[in-house]
Amino acid sequence: MQKTLVLLKPDAVQRRLVGEIIGRFERKGLRLVALKMVQASRELAERHYAVHRGKPFYESLLAFLTSGPTVAMVWEGREAVSVARLLMGLTDGARSAPGTIRGDFGLSVQNNLIHGSDSPENAEAEIALWFHPEELVHYTSSD
């Protein structure tokens, strides 16, 4: 079953949107296999956003991700990576369609509430970065 890493970034936690966002993933039919709150260190943020190193918004992005608690989750299901990204909407809240998480709750590009892995390969690497293998549960039933 495909898995994806989802982060509810510090703005989502600070704005009390955690339950609202988790509800959307549950109602869509994805299954929660790991969940924890993390105060991301600079090192963790650097590793998570290594691909953005050197971009003009990089330092500000690191400051944002380390500014408060993040809710880190792993969701699984059929096409979990792309399903999560459809639920999230586009990176820029102002361009994201109503009905998506970013489209419904924000206008910012940087403070865009949520991160989801962009490919199954990156999901595997990101899950390994944020979680120990024993933090993921395994369900016995398939529903």
Cβ proximity to ligand CMP, 60 vs 137, nearer residue? 60
SS3 assignment for 82-137: HHHHHHHCCCCHHHCCECEHHHHHCCCCCCCCEEECCCHHHHHHHHHHHCCHHHCC
Find the binding residues for ligand CMP in span 27-56 (CB under 6 A).
Answer: 52
Residue number, 125 or 137, with CB nearest to ligand CMP: 125
For residue 100 the two structure tokens come to 């998506």
For residue 107, state whether it binds ligand CMP (rule: CB under 6 A).
no
Shortest distance in whole angstroms from residue 85 CB to ligand CMP: 9
Q: Among candidates 61, 79, 67, 78, which has minimal Cα distance to 115?
A: 61
Annotated binding site for ATP: 9, 57, 85, 91, 102, 112
Residues that bind ligand CMP (CB under 6 A): 52, 57, 61, 91, 109-110, 112, 115
